[in-house]
Structure 1
Amino acid sequence: MKIHSDYIPLTQAQIAAAQHTDIAEYLQSRGEKLKREGAHFIWKAHDSCVITGYKWYQNSTGKHGAAVAFVQHFFGMSFPQAVLELIHGKQISLELSKPHPPQKPPKAEALPVAFALPPSAPDHRRLFAYLTQTRCISPDIVSDFLLDKLIYQDTSGNIVFVCYDKNGLVRAAHRRGTNTAHRYRGFVSGGDFTCGFSYVCETADTLYVFEAPIDLMSYISLHRHEPWHRSCYLSLGGLSDEALHRFLKEYPNIREIVFCLDNDAAQPENWGQIAAQKYVRHYGKKYTTRINTPHLKDWNAVLCAAGKEVAPRCQAVR
């Protein structure tokens, strides 16, 4: 059976072959740089994009799919152009619709990687210096999060943000580098990233939602003289609401959601505020919802700007 799109004849076999193209191999053929993270690859040009075989997920926007959608999204091609790109179609001819030899079956998906937290360093000096001096986060907040085992420093000097479920089991973890000259952030392989990084008050009815763990800690630092312990705080690890959906199922006591997402006003698309408005409409059907927008790019930028006079070493880093 043929499918016609934009007057380009494509067969189901061609579309299937394109959809199951290994995205990492395709990007490498274009000269793009990738970094392996366990069974996944991180595309350096878009470091929020996680690639596994023919599938991809962009944490900053929540967009995902197979190989054809990847080429359409990142390279601006139409569906038929993306298919021809992935099967290396150089020209359109009637031969495209002729029977082809049996296609090789798509590569088997990688087996799930066993999840384990990275080993802990003997001390947390680099973590403490980075969060308090570079990121301006209150030392008291950092100490609280360390004592609650929400964060720690691994043996590579990275900060590990630990994600717990309702039962106190570790389900996932994020890592952030402390070397400002070499930016690094990523997921610990094998984790369940429907489980976000959170600070939980079991009796709270209000939840504050952020894109990143550092913004969560920054917001708490800005409100550290208030009874912040009486609320819940959740980092989505991007803009997908999967972690929020899970959190609300696990904590049915939540009645109000405050979306504190980034303010990307300087960008062509203000994705953080677009997502906030979408989620207010969606979750507003069941919860009281509101948007708390930072007047700068994000809550860490707000914190660093507020702390410059008393902490001149603080400098906003993204």
Structure 2
Amino acid sequence: MEIARGTDLPDLLASLGYTVTRIGRYYSTKEMDSLRIKNRRTWYRYSERVGGDAITFLQHFCGRSFPEAVEDLLAFHGRARDAPAERSRQTEQAPEPPKPFALPPRHTDARRVYAYLKKRGVSPQIIRSFISAGLLYEDSEHHNCVFVGYDRDGKAAFASLRGTYDRDGSGFKGDAAGSDKSIGFRLPYAPDSRTVYVFEAPIDLMSYCTLHREFHSNALALCCLDDRALSVFLREHPTVRKVVLCLDHDRPGQEAAERMGRKYAAEGYVVQTLSPPSRKDWNAYLTFVQQFRERGR
């Protein structure tokens, strides 16, 4: 169990796609604000009254068995199963090379993904269109949403995973091993559009499409607050000259929008910031609008 006690939880969670924040002496995440990480080694989630170490985190939030969680941590640390717990720097072996990218196995249907996204307010038409375009499917092992990102040659190079079981709206989020974060999640390129809309998460992009049924433009989800995917997209498509930043309407999202806005304006792009009229993000705004409409009936 030395590997569990020695795992730096903020680093592990960041590698899983969580947005780690520091609050005084503790760490938390943007996705689960009731989570507290103490001494960078142990966690506790007050909303569920559960806690533990790195292994229990992977079991509880990522659906991993105990052996699978151990394997994940060994891979995270770049160590083999039979490696000794402690080695001197002189004898320590080089970390294993990163795993090659591979999409999770596909389930025979997408019923759980469909039900989950419909519960989040995304229209059935939008869900079907994403599935038909090969942008979305359900994985066979954990029944996660798999949002597939393709490079400019049409080859799958990135996959964002979203759990379909949310106890309190904060389910599992992560990327498939070997994912290229500089690709992100993109809609198919629209050559007649000189604008790209930029979101934090694929579900926010789908929510925007639900709110604006006639939406036709280039769009991508960063799946973080790093703009590498946007930079690569603009370099690959030089005719795109306008960037619309549709990031979350919270402090991290707005700070990122300001940072990206300055950067791309200095590079000669027309930059617009577009926030949801209310609520934290586009999905939260979509569900608010739908609830408001239901009450008005």
Fold equivalence (TM over 0.5)? yes
For 1:221, give the aligned amino acid.
Answer: T
Counterpart position of 1:188: 176
1:50 to 7, 11, 15: 15
Alpha-carbon distance in 1 for matches of 2:208, 2:94:
43
- Of the three residues 1, 19, 24, the one matched with 1:60 is 19
The 1:120–1:281 alpha-carbon spacing in structure 2 relative to 1, beyond 3 Å, is same
Alignment of 1:113-262 (within 5 A): 113-132=99-118, 134-155=119-140, 156-181=142-167, 183-199=171-187, 200-224=189-213, 226=214, 228-229=215-216, 231-262=217-248
The answer as to whether partners of 2:195 and 2:242 remain within 8 angstroms in 1 is: yes
1:61–1:271 CA contact under 8 A, matched in 2: no
Moved over 6 A (4+): none
Match of 1:305 in 2: 288
Instruction: State the SS of the aligned residue for 2:152.
Output: coil
CA contact (8 A) 2:148 2:158 kept: yes
Alignment match, 2:259: 278
Q: Deviations over 1:157-178 (max 9, x none)?
A: 1110000011111111011110
Secondary structure at 2:15 match in 1: strand
**Alpha-carbon distance, 1:179 to partner:** 0.9
Task: List runs of 5+ in structure 2 lacking aligned partners.
Answer: 22-36, 40-87
CA contact (8 A) 1:61 1:239 kept: no
Partner of 1:12: none
Aligned partners of 1:248 and 1:162: how far apart in 2?
Answer: 19
**Secondary structure of 2:149's aligned partner:** strand
Q: Which residue of 2 aligns with 1:82?
A: none
8 Å contact 1:203–1:253 — kept in the other structure? no
Residue pair 2:18, 2:173 contacting (<8 A) in 1 also: no
User: How many residues are paired up?
Assistant: 226
Q: Is the 8 A contact 1:59 1:239 kept in 2?
A: no
* Inter-partner Cα distance in structure 1 for 2:205 and 2:122: 10
Q: Is this contact kept in 1: 2:105–2:139, CA < 8 A?
A: yes
SS of alignment partner, residue 253 of structure 1:
coil
Cα gap change, 1:61 to 1:205, in 2 (>3 Å): farther
Identity %: 38
What's the CA shift for 1:251? 1.3
Which residue is equivalent to 1:19? none
Contact 1:115/1:191, CA 8 A, preserved across alignment: yes
CA RMSD of aligned residues (A): 2.8
d(CA) in 2 for partners of 1:172, 1:303: 26
Partner of 1:167: helix, strand, or coil?
coil
* TM-score normalized with structure 2 length: 0.69
Preserved CA contact (<8 Å) 1:197 1:235? yes
Code of the residue aligned with 1:278 in structure 2: it is R
TM-score by length of 1: 0.65
In structure 2, what residue type is equivalent to 1:272? G
Q: Deviations over 1:129-148 (max 9, x none)?
A: 1001x210011111111110
SS in 1 for 2:224: coil
Q: Deviations over 1:201-260 (max 9, x none)?
A: 122101000111111111111111x2x12x111111110011111111111121100001
Larger Rg: 1
Q: Whole-Å Cα distance in 2 between the matches of residues 301 and 170 of structure 1?
A: 29
Distance 1:105 1:275, change over 3 A: farther
Change in CA separation of 1:220 and 1:103 when aligned onto 2, cut-off 3 Å:
same
Aligned partners of 1:187 and 1:311: how far apart in 2?
35
